Structure 1
Amino acid sequence: MAAEMYSIKDLENLSGIKAHTIRIWEKRYGIVQPGRTDTNIRYYSNEDLRRLLNISMLTQHGFKISHISQMTDDEIAQKIAGLSIKNHPDLYGDSLLLSLIDLDEQLFNKAFLEILMAEGFENAIIRFIFPFFHRIGIMWQIGTISPAQEHFISNLIRNKIIVATERISRVPDPALGTVLLFLPENELHEISLLFYNYVLRARGYKTIYLGQSVPHESLERLTHTCSFSFIVTNLTNPLPEQDFIEFCQRLCQVADGAKVYIAGPIPDNLGGRLPANGFLQKDLIERLSMGVSV
């Protein structure tokens, strides 16, 4: 497992509870028990984070902190099990995070179902799953989750998107054109790309999904033998500005005649250096969300 060492600021970012409040609860109620490094720096564990997330859920359901502080961990867990997070959007992220920490598929499925029923599939992904991955990114950076935990939750979400896509019954409209979706070589994180595939199919586009780490040579051969109206790709790893521009130019040249949508970390101040048929992620997402064709 990854080292469990959070600063109080980390706890604030992940739990949503202000650092000042955490300190008060710590001193007054002994809610968390920080450890200390060899150099006497305070740190908190996954158990502290788990407890704070549970307490946050209870307080938002009307429980008083003075009452919660008298409960054992088992009693808190029993109270949490009896709660419904329906109509409590602030708690959705906490439930997802607890399912990650505990590798709890049942808790994840329960939380996702309630988000789905309240928000619909697209809003569930945009408003809750993508921000949840941002929280995972914080935990990854500070070294408090393991690759196994990240893979666990990513595969659960990946499967949800694939199943939702397979259930789309809408017949593609030839007038809208065909969209090719792929990840460049060495890009393996396909959650966003899978979601774009879902969104496009739900709006009547025919899509061809190539998936992870597609060699440029293979893409080039494919574009010479098949016709595409649009190409969608996604970058996870930031590229230096010049490398990003060269990637865009190379891709847009191969896809001459098609619009190319590029998602992911985009360098600032690109100016007019993006090819004429190249567009950034927000162009696609904003247009689709407004019901406008790509």
Structure 2
Amino acid sequence: MSSTDLNGMYLIQQVSDMTGLSKQVIRKWEERYHLVQPKRLENGYRIYSEVDINFLLNVKTLSGQGHTVKRAVEITKARNIVGDAIPEPSHSLQHPAILNDYVFRLLEKGAHCDELEIHLVLQQAYHAYGLADFLTSVIVPFLNEVGNKWHRNEWNEYQEAVSSLVTRDFLVQIRRNYQFRENASLIVGACLPYELHEIPLHILLLQLMQKGFKTMLVGAYPAPGSIESLVEKLKPAKVLLSATTTTPFDKDPDLLKRLDQFAVDNKHIDFYLGGTGALDYTMNKTLRAIHVTNSIEDVLR
């Protein structure tokens, strides 16, 4: 039986797949702390709602931050993080995120490395939400949870890779089919050399395409010098550089200095550098021409 058959309710095995909690732990938190109160099917099987799963995930997050389970349950109940309703798609999601049915289904399919089902759920969510809310309410929360599961060793490399790659390919498909005016300003997005994580750039470029820009992406792990060559050839209005880790700077200590000089030499182009790794590495550094930011509003100025 699938979550679709249950009309937004989930069996305990599905909840276990989504949350990374064992069925034993879920039942223990229910019975000992009265955290959730699942309904029962005629055969006695527990079924859980979106609210139940969000409570379980919130307690798991808080306990991972050092709180006892008892205290995590108290905080969760006091916060009333989900109450009686799931927020509308346009609401921003902060961690611990309030997740929706599409994210739960993606986590379930990702746990089983089911590429086709992941793609189908993404397709359904995209048509249901529209691009803007699809990115903020489905893609970002899903990828955050995938990353959390990877860092906590709840998912193996294959589970993480399948979920990330199917999501990336789906975003690429949207970008390729997106219509823009021929006279639209061009933005080039580029991962730095040695950087493997390109999905944040796909998301950002799609958001910028909604603002009327034409975009081009230099994907993961570009060859040294390829970014500069492409920029000189295309003459874009803006260049977005991305590094989610500090690996590009660790591997090539002169990389940032060269790129900043390149930006100085091309003052007619606005250069931006973002990503967690970039922000960490440049924290105490002064750049002459590259703007360091993780804000799309800065890029749009």
**Contact 1:193–1:234 (CA under 8 A) maintained in structure 2:** yes
- Quick check: 1:133 aligned with 2:143? yes
- Alpha carbons of structure 1 residues 213 and 224: separation in structure 2 relative to 1, 3 Å: same
- Alpha carbons of structure 1 residues 163 and 261: separation in structure 2 relative to 1, 3 Å: same
Match of 1:181, SS state, is strand
Deviation at 1:213?
A: 1.3
TM-score (norm 1): 0.63
Deviation at 1:110?
A: 4.4
Match of 2:217, SS state, is strand
Partner of 1:259: 270
Instruction: Give the counterpart letter for 2:145 in structure 1.
Output: R
Match of residue 283, structure 2, among 270, 276, 279: 270
Deviation at 1:246?
A: 6.1
Match of residue 112, structure 1, among 122, 128, 134: 122
Partner of 1:281: 294
Deviation at 1:181?
A: 1.7
- Alpha carbons of structure 1 residues 107 and 240: separation in structure 2 relative to 1, 3 Å: closer
**Contact 2:195–2:221 (CA under 8 A) maintained in structure 1:** yes
Partner of 2:225: 217
Deviations 1:219-276 (A, max 9, x none): 3344444423211121121469999996544322213312112221022883672434
- Quick check: 1:156 aligned with 2:171? no
Distance 1:267 1:181 in 2: 20
Deviations 1:182-220 (A, max 9, x none): 111111221112223323334332333221212332333
Distance 2:223 2:205 in 1: 20
Distance 1:187 1:236 in 2: 7
Distance 1:158 1:195 in 2: 9
Counterparts of residues 1-294 of structure 1 (less than 5 Å):
14=19, 22-25=27-30, 64=39, 66-67=40-41, 70-71=44-45, 90-174=100-184, 176=185, 178-238=186-246, 247-256=255-264, 257=267, 258-265=269-276, 266-267=279-280, 270=283, 273-282=286-295, 285-286=296-297, 293-294=300-301
Match of 2:280, SS state, is coil
Distance 1:23 1:263 in 2: 43
CA RMSD across the alignment: 4.0
Deviation at 1:127?
A: 2.5
**Contact 1:223–1:254 (CA under 8 A) maintained in structure 2:** no
Number of residue pairs aligned between Structure 1 and Structure 2 = 230
Distance 2:250 2:158 in 1: 34
Instruction: Give the counterpart letter for 2:127 in structure 1.
Output: M
Deviations 1:148-201 (A, max 9, x none): 212211121112111111221222335x3x222211111122111222332333
Deviation at 1:15?
A: 6.6
Instruction: Give the counterpart letter for 1:122 in structure 2.
Output: A
- Alpha carbons of structure 1 residues 15 and 69: separation in structure 2 relative to 1, 3 Å: farther
**Contact 2:189–2:217 (CA under 8 A) maintained in structure 1:** yes
Instruction: Give the counterpart letter for 1:123 in structure 2.
Output: D
- Alpha carbons of structure 1 residues 255 and 211: separation in structure 2 relative to 1, 3 Å: same
TM-score (norm 2): 0.61
Could you list the runs of 5+ residues in structure 1 that have no partner in the other structure?
Answer: 1-10, 30-55, 74-84
**Contact 2:273–2:290 (CA under 8 A) maintained in structure 1:** no
- Alpha carbons of structure 1 residues 179 and 158: separation in structure 2 relative to 1, 3 Å: same
